[in-house]
Chains A and B, each alone.
Chain A
Amino acid sequence: DQQVKQNSPSLSVQEGRISILNCDYTNSMFDYFLWYKKYPAEGPTFLISISSIKDKNEDGRFTVFLNKSAKHLSLHIVPSQPGDSAVYFCAAKSVSGGGADGLTFGKGTHLIIQP
Chain B
Amino acid sequence: DSGVTQTPKHLITATGQRVTLRCSPRSGDLSVYWYQQSLDQGLQFLIQYYNGEERAKGNILERFSAQQFPDLHSELNLSSLELGDSALYFCASSAKGGWNTEAFFGQGTRLTVV
Contact = CB atoms under 8 A, between A and B. Distances in A.
Main secondary structure of the interface of B (DSSP, over half): strand
A95 B104 CA distance: 18
A43 B50 CA distance: 21
Contacts, number: 69
Interface stretch (B14-22, B51-59, B64-72): B51-59
Interface string B19-31: 0000000000001
Nearest to A34: B102
B105 A104 contact: no
Interface residues of B, number: 31
B98 A99 contact: no
Interface stretch (A20-28, A62-70, A71-79, A105-113): A105-113
Nearest to A48: B102
Interface of B: 2, 4, 31, 33, 35, 41-48, 50, 55-58, 90, 92, 97-100, 102-108
